[in-house]
Structure formats: C-alpha cells, structure tokens
Structure 1
Amino acid sequence: MSNETMEKIAGGSFVIADIDFTQVVTPEDFSEEQRMIGETTEEFVKTEILPRDEEIEHLNYELTADLLRKAGEVGLLGADVPEGYGGMGLDKVSTTLISERLTKASSFALSAGAHVGIGTLPIVYFGTEAQKQKYLPKLATGDLLAAYCLTEPSSGSDALGAKTTAVLSEDGTHYILNGTKQFITNAGFADVFIVYAKVNGTDFSTFIVERSMEGVSIGPEEKKMGIKGSSTCPLILEDVKVPVDNLLWEVGKGHLIAFNILNIGRFKLAAGCLGSSKDAIEYASKYANERTQFGQKISSFPLIGKKLAEMNTRTFVLESMVYRTAGLFDVGLADVDHGSADVGYQSAKAIAEYQLECSINKVFGSESLDFVADEGVQIHGGYGFTQEYRIERIYRDSRINRIFEGTNEINRLLIPGSLVKRAMKGELPLLPAAQKLQAELMEPMPSRTFEGTLEEEAHLLSMSKKIFLMAGAQAVQKYQLKLEREQEVLSHLADIMIAIYAMESALLRTQKIIASAGEDKAELPIAMTSVFIHEEFGKIEAWAKEVLSYMEQGDLLRTQLSILKKLTKRSAVNTLSLKRQISAKVIQAEKYVV
C-alpha cells in the first residue's frame, strides 16, 4: 500500500473515532520489496549470526562489532538513514520488518537495535547538516558503532533528574562534561555516544561524545539475567571536552530529543517482541508434536492446544498493532525535510504525534511476549528450564522489555496523560465527544441482534470506546489537575486504551483480509479476533467497574454501574471451541499462523 492512498490520522484519535480498514497497513499489504528485505534479514541471521551464537552469548566484543559491520554491508544498519547520508532511507514498514526478523539473533539483535535505533536516529532527526555528513555514513556501514546514554545511577524513569553536567568553556569552543551513565547498551565497544547532560546544571541537552575523547572511560560489564551477549556497562565522563559543534540541536532541547527517540525505541521494541513471540510459538509447537506422554503427543492434549491458541492469538493482535503503527509513522514522517534548517522541530512534532501509540505497542508487546515465553516454557515442561532448549533463553531475555525504554508502569501513566494533554491543546476533540456521549447515555439503549461476521465484535469495540469516555470524563471532572496523583485510575484507563487499540487493530486487519480474500480464507483471523475481543471486553468491564467504584459511592455509583451494565451487554461466545480451531492450525503448521 502506498503512502499516497493513506490519510494522516491524528494520534490518540482511535479512542473517539472509527476508521475504515482501508486506512491501516497490515502484513498482507507487504510489497515484494518489503518481503525481500525481511528475507534478507532472516538469511543474514541464519548464515552469519546463528553459527556464532554461543560465542556472541559469551560477550565477544570483537565478534559482535565485526558482525555489526557485516550487517552494515548488506544494508541492515542504514535502513533508517536517508540515502543522502549513505543509508537506504527505507519506509517504516520495511525497517519494522528488519527489527522483527532480527530477533532470532537474540543478544545480537539488541546490539544492532540499539545502534540503528536510539543510537543513530538522534542524529538522523536532530543533527545538523555537518553532524549528519560526519557521522551518518559511517554509522550506516558499521564503521562507527553507537550507544544511547540517558539512564544514570540515580535517575531511571525520572530522566530529567539526571545529574551529568555540561559547562561551556571560557573560550566558548567546547563543553566540559562530567557524570556517569548506567546500563548503557553497546558501551563496551561503541565509538559514538549520544549523551544527555544539563548545561550549567539546568538546561537538559544532548551531545555527541566520541570514545576517543580524553576523559571518557567505560565501567565493568553488568552481570545480567538475560541478553547476556549484549554489552551493558556504565559510561564515565571526567572533564570530557566536547566541541560545541557536537551539541545536538539546541541547548535545553534534550528532553524533546530524549522522549521522541524513546517513542521510536518503544515502537521498535514492540516489533522485536513480535519476532520473539513468533519464535517461541515455533519452538513450543514443534516440541509439543515431538514430546510423547501417556502414549500420545502432548500436542493432542486440549490444555496444551489452548496454550498454543492463546499464544498465537495474542501474537496476531500484536502483529496487527505493530504494522498499523508503522503505517501511521510512514504517513506522519513523510513530510519531514531532512535538509531543512528546522528539521528538529519537524521531526519532534511528527514523532510526538504517535507517542500514545508507541507506549501502547511497548506495553502490549512486552507483556504479550512475557505471556508467550512463559507458556512456551510450560509446554516444554522441565526441559524448558534447561539451557539445552532455546525457549529458556527467550524467557530470560524477554523480561527486560517491561523495564527498557521506560517501565510499563511509567508508560501506563503516560498513555492517558498524553491523551488529556492533546485534548487540552485542542489537538483532539475529546471534550465534545464526552459531552455527546453524556447526552446519549441518558437515552434508552435499544436491544440489538447481530448476524454478520464480526458484527457483534465491532459493536463491542464501539461500546469499549464509550466505556473509556464515560470513565475517563468522570476521572478528569473529579480530579482535574490532581488526576496525575491517582495512578491506579490512570493505569486502568491506560489498560482500557491499550485494549481498544489492540481490539481495533485485529478487527480492521481481519475485515481487510475478508474484503480481499473472502471469509473462507479468513477463518483463522476471524476466530482469533472474536476470541480476543470477547475476552478483552470482559477485562474492560472489570477495569471500568473498579475505577467507577473507586471514584464514587452511593446513588451516583449505582447510576453509573447501571449505565455500565447497559454498555456491556453481549452474547456468550464459545471461545473454547474457537481456541481448539486455532490450535489445530498452529499444531499442524508448527509455527505462528494467520
């Protein structure tokens, strides 16, 4: 699907507006060129990475750096870099495919991801022309390797609490940096560091620091639970003289760079979680077909099948979300002029538009992978607890994703908080939508019957949006500026928003498959979409009930719960039979299936 046929959609608008399935990108839309990019990535991992997997896992810096340069030779490091600076300038769907398909490379995928994403993109989007000319061509080939340095011993999620300082020299030629950054991926071998520091202790700013600069040193490797083949060390800065030309964008603009690069990082993390989820399904389904107990394959046991069905369904939903979001970015970033003097402002605005969606992808993706990996271990039984089977590493490696790029708790606070801020700036008509709903809820709700495929599921999605608006409007009205203190309320509102985006992404994708291939070819997507929406709708009802019960009491609460009951009427669905239908396909294919 070309960008020309896509409309620009406002970030966060999915909670109040319905869109047509023609306006979302799905994996079924991949062009031949995009499929080839995915295949090239898979082939590189198969031929170059997997044969050296054990060496990488034992933290061989030289080997990882060499393999990163080889990845650069085949274009995997320059996909996000514009062609004018030695890269390939690929669309976001293509670069998302690379992120997804690299995951079989385990720790190496993290090293590559940190380099191409949070390491290189700050210069792509916020660098001066001179900085781009100097660094991007070598970053695209792997001649220079990058790291991103935000976290400090005393500031993790509270990034703006950083204590690293930058003081302009008396002659105005350089900044003197002092401080320590912690948990820095690629620190052991990186040549270029994107470092955040406060100019004069107050103005949060960003600098390009080179390893060769005097005063730069690297601390010892962290002994980690997982991703053991990736380098994670402290970066220590002692009176490091950084030329003023290495200031990224402007003094005091570091927060805009940091948060927007984190947005991209969160989205790319979700794509990685998608790839690992597919891998886990493949390992688990193959094992289930090989392992015999009580005289039969364990894949024949309904409870094992149920696990595989739920793993496949959640991965289908995540895949639908990830490529829908990639499509949003392709349209949103299309107008950024990388040669413009105000490219930083253009980039910040375009990326921030989908901050909400990035956080949603990150939370759903990381928690889905944890679920899939955990069930994968369970299917393997005792063998899943041993390093002989790959599922054990997927399980260990997956745990960091709920902490990386802002913890899931922080992201849950950001999701509704960002929506309210967009509404207050007039970027989303949230208040008119809530007022319209208020009037609608006072009217009798007619009973409905559903006959068409996924017709009731579409209705449940619509009701979910109304439930969110009802609960969200009540929370804003009750707490106003103090809402940010009510973290449990915000978290539940975030969960409802995540569920809505997930449900809608799966529904739109399935509707698109039906429209192009017919219902006969969409049997599995229909089953997965139905299962997911009905089960998720039950969770939405529970979250809303808990929020309303916390905020109100007495007659007002009874009235609101009565309204909620009207909004949550639905038919009983035989999800167990649908899951048997899904699991049969997974067991037969021995991999993730759609």
Structure 2
Amino acid sequence: MDLELSEEHAALRATVEEFAQKEVAPVIGGFYERAEFPYELVAKMAAMGLFGLPFGEEHGGMGGDYFALCLALEELARVDSSVAITLEAGVSLGAMPIHRFGTDSQKARWLPQLAAGERLGAFGLTEPGGGTDAGATRTTARLDGDEWVINGSKCFITNSGTDITELVTVTARTAGDEISAIIVPSGTPGFTVSEKYSKVGWSASDTRELFFDDVRVPAENLLGEQGRGYAQFLSILDEGRIAIAALSVGLAQGCVDESVRYAHEREAFGRPIGRYQSIQFQIADMEVRAHTARLAYYAAAAKMLAGKPFKKEAAIAKLVASNAAMDNARTATQVFGGYGFMNEYPVGRFYRDAKILEIGEGTSEVQRMLIARTLGLQ
C-alpha cells in the first residue's frame, strides 16, 4: 500500500498551499469579519482550474479525479474554511450531480461554466422542518404540460444567492412518496432567496433559505430518473463526506500550524511556551488527530476511485475528521490563551468554523448510524 502522493497530486497540493498562504491568508480575515463573499478569491481559484478538478476536459474540466479536489480542499482549509466550503459545495453539490446524472444536453449546457468556476451551482435538499430527516421532503413538483411547477422551501443552502450562482438542483415530491431532483436556474420567476444567514462560522461563504412559489421550469430540467432523486443525492452525499473530511483535516492541520508557530513566539516565565511539556503534549495530540483523520479520508478516497463500495469508509472519515477539527480547534484556542479568543488570530476563526463540520452533510450521529448499518446492526 503506497500512501505517497503521485507527482501530479503533490504538485497540485503545493500549488494550492502557495495560493492559500499568499493570496487567501492575508485578506480573508477582513472578508470574514464583514461577512462578505470573497468574489476575487473565487475568481482566482477558478482561474487555477480548481472548480474543474474532477471533471473531464470535454466538459471544461481539468481531467483529474475526486482525490485531487480533496487535496485542494485540505490546503485551503488550513488557512480558511469559507473559501474551502465554497469550492466544495460548488463542485461536489453544485456540479457533480449534473456530471453524475445529467443528460448530454444538461451537461453541455451547464457543466462547462460550472467546471470553469465562472458560475456556481447549489444543492437544495434540507428543509426547515426536516433537517437530518432529508426524506421528509415537503417541497412539491407537479407536471403541467411540459413544465414542472415547484412549491416549497429549502434552508441552509450554500452558494445559492451569490451574483454568480447559476442554478440550484432541488429535491421535490413528484408523486406520493416519490422524490425527484429538478434543476432550477437562478432568476426563474417565483424562485427567491433570503438574505444571508447570520452564522456562527463560515462567515465569508454564502448560505441562504430558498423559496419556490409556483416556479415553472421545463420538463427536461428533471435530473436523472423521476423518483430516484433521493437515492441519487444519497450517493452524492457519500462522495461529499470524503470532501468534508478533507476540509476538516485541513482545519485540524491549520490548528497545528498556528499552535506550533505561536509556541515558538510566545514566552511565559522567561522562555517560549513550546518548551513546556504541557504545551508540547497538547500540540502532539493535535498532530496525531490530524494525521489519523488524513489517513481515514485517503482510505475512503482510494476505495471510491477504485470503484469499490465506500459508504462505511466515507462515514468513518467524516466522523473522525470532523471530531479532529473540533478537538484541535478547542485545543489551539487553549494554547493561545486569551489571544485565541481574539478574531485577529486565525484560531478564533477555526474555532467558530469547526462545529458545523460535525453537522453538515450528515451529523456525527448519522455517520455512526451508517457505520452501524454496514455492520449489520439494523
């Protein structure tokens, strides 16, 4: 078993690391505190081809693989999670469903601009009364001639209201218990988005509630098979959990980076705090958690790319990595002491960003449930 990165993956990782350190780190704090979407950084990521990493060149992509996306997410999240989740949601939730389940005409129409990062896609699954129970969809869609008429609402939807959002793919009941997925372009009459949420973390990302009031879209905007929308998005979420695990590892490693730097600089009782064993042990434990979580998402990605079942491994990776991110953020804040509570230091952002990783794309409880089911515990 070879855990060394290929030359291509190693080069990509180094490129994104340099971008994150030189372009993102100096400015992201301002975007975060203003709760402002970083259009300039997103444009630079698009120019680097990051939004097209797992897509074929025939659709404007880079011809890479999903693991390449994960490596990019990890390096971005070592500096900031808002830009990382913008990329993750734009690719794995916005463009990937069209790539996986779209018709040739749907791919030709939407994938090139999504893969280029010129426009963003979003994924509307969660509803105000549903939360984790995504199967309790109340949004409806009925056929009226050659159009779907959609009514309902969605909540907590990333990338849904930016100036460059192109579409949202939504799940809706199309008959009885039948759930289907339908592409709704931005600007469609009757489709409105709320003001941005005021969030604890991910403050420089775009998250909104969506409303559908007799929204009409062409019948050909059905994505995949009618009645298979829920199953399709469960498979998309399995992939997405590996990406969220990679993002979580990045945050966990960023906590290590900042703590090591601070431990060399900060003095107490006449010497750097990094010379005290209590600080050394805390940082060592942080590194262990980040390292272990990285191995978990590498293993899940390897199974996925090999075409093998990976549901359990994805759930394990997401659970282990999100726990590592939360634990490392808490420890890093403690290492920094009072300064860890100040927004001028990155660990303050890390602490605010970490909690959602234990909730989004399946809570930690859902991951445990999925793991138990794979063990035959129904």
What range is the shorter-chain TM-score in?
over 0.9
Task: Please list, as runs of the form range in 1=range in 2, the aligned pairs for 1:8-407 lying within 5 A after superposition.
Answer: 22=1, 25-26=2-3, 29-57=4-32, 58-61=34-37, 64-103=38-77, 104-169=79-144, 171=145, 173-189=146-162, 190-332=165-307, 353-407=309-363
Supply the AA of the counterpart residue of 1:78: G
Offset, 1:76: 0.5
Task: Specify the structure having the higher radius of gyration (Cα).
Answer: 1
Offset, 1:39: 1.7
Offset, 1:69: 3.1
For 2:280 and 2:24, the matched residues in 1 are separated by 32
Seen in structure 2, the aligned counterparts of structure 1 residues 67 and 289 have a Cα distance that, compared at 3 Å, is closer
SS at match of 2:27: helix
CA displacement, residues 392-418 of structure 1 (integer Å, 9 cap, x when unaligned): 110110010000011111111111113
For 1:304 and 1:69, the matched residues in 2 are separated by 39
SS at match of 1:191: strand
Offset, 1:66: 4.3
For 1:100 and 1:230, the matched residues in 2 are separated by 17
For 2:286 and 2:298, the matched residues in 1 are separated by 19
Which structure 1 residue ranges, 5 or more long, are not aligned? 1-21, 333-349, 421-475, 477-483, 485-594
Aligned residues: 374
For 1:161 and 1:85, the matched residues in 2 are separated by 34
Task: Please list, as runs of the form range in 1=range in 2, the aligned pairs for 1:510-529 lying within 5 A after superposition.
Answer: none
CA displacement, residues 427-453 of structure 1 (integer Å, 9 cap, x when unaligned): xxxxxxxxxxxxxxxxxxxxxxxxxxx
Q: TM-score, normalised by structure 1?
A: 0.61
CA displacement, residues 206-231 of structure 1 (integer Å, 9 cap, x when unaligned): 01110121111001221111111111
CA displacement, residues 319-370 of structure 1 (integer Å, 9 cap, x when unaligned): 11221222222211xxxxxxxxxxxxxxxxx6xx211111111110000111
CA displacement, residues 273-328 of structure 1 (integer Å, 9 cap, x when unaligned): 11111111011111112111122221111111111111111111111122122222
SS at match of 1:287: helix
Q: TM-score, normalised by structure 2?
A: 0.95
403-412 or 35-44, which deviates more: 35-44
Offset, 1:107: 1.1
Supply the AA of the counterpart residue of 2:235: N
Seen in structure 2, the aligned counterparts of structure 1 residues 289 and 70 have a Cα distance that, compared at 3 Å, is closer
Partners of 2:81 and 2:247 within 8 A in 1: no
Partners of 1:163 and 1:201 within 8 A in 2: no
SS at match of 1:197: strand
SS at match of 2:31: helix
Supply the AA of the counterpart residue of 1:161: A
Offset, 1:53: 1.3
For 2:261 and 2:117, the matched residues in 1 are separated by 36
CA displacement, residues 183-242 of structure 1 (integer Å, 9 cap, x when unaligned): 111122122101111103431110111012111100122111111111111011111111
Seen in structure 2, the aligned counterparts of structure 1 residues 129 and 161 have a Cα distance that, compared at 3 Å, is same
For 2:136 and 2:291, the matched residues in 1 are separated by 38
Supply the AA of the counterpart residue of 1:86: G
Offset, 1:43: 2.7
Seen in structure 2, the aligned counterparts of structure 1 residues 293 and 70 have a Cα distance that, compared at 3 Å, is closer
Partners of 2:126 and 2:134 within 8 A in 1: yes
Offset, 1:45: 2.5
Offset, 1:262: 0.8
SS at match of 1:166: strand
Supply the AA of the counterpart residue of 1:224: K
Partners of 1:177 and 1:240 within 8 A in 2: yes
CA displacement, residues 126-180 of structure 1 (integer Å, 9 cap, x when unaligned): 11111111111010112221111111000111101010000000x2x11100011
SS at match of 2:25: helix
Which structure 2 residue ranges, 5 or more long, are not aligned? none
Seen in structure 2, the aligned counterparts of structure 1 residues 82 and 419 have a Cα distance that, compared at 3 Å, is farther
Partners of 1:194 and 1:209 within 8 A in 2: yes
CA RMSD of aligned residues (A): 1.5
SS at match of 1:388: coil
SS at match of 1:160: coil
Partners of 1:166 and 1:201 within 8 A in 2: no
Partners of 1:196 and 1:205 within 8 A in 2: yes
Offset, 1:70: 2.7
Supply the AA of the counterpart residue of 1:120: A
CA displacement, residues 361-397 of structure 1 (integer Å, 9 cap, x when unaligned): 1110000111111111111111111112111110110
Task: Please list, as runs of the form range in 1=range in 2, the aligned pairs for 1:558-569 lying within 5 A after superposition.
Answer: none
Partners of 1:182 and 1:234 within 8 A in 2: yes
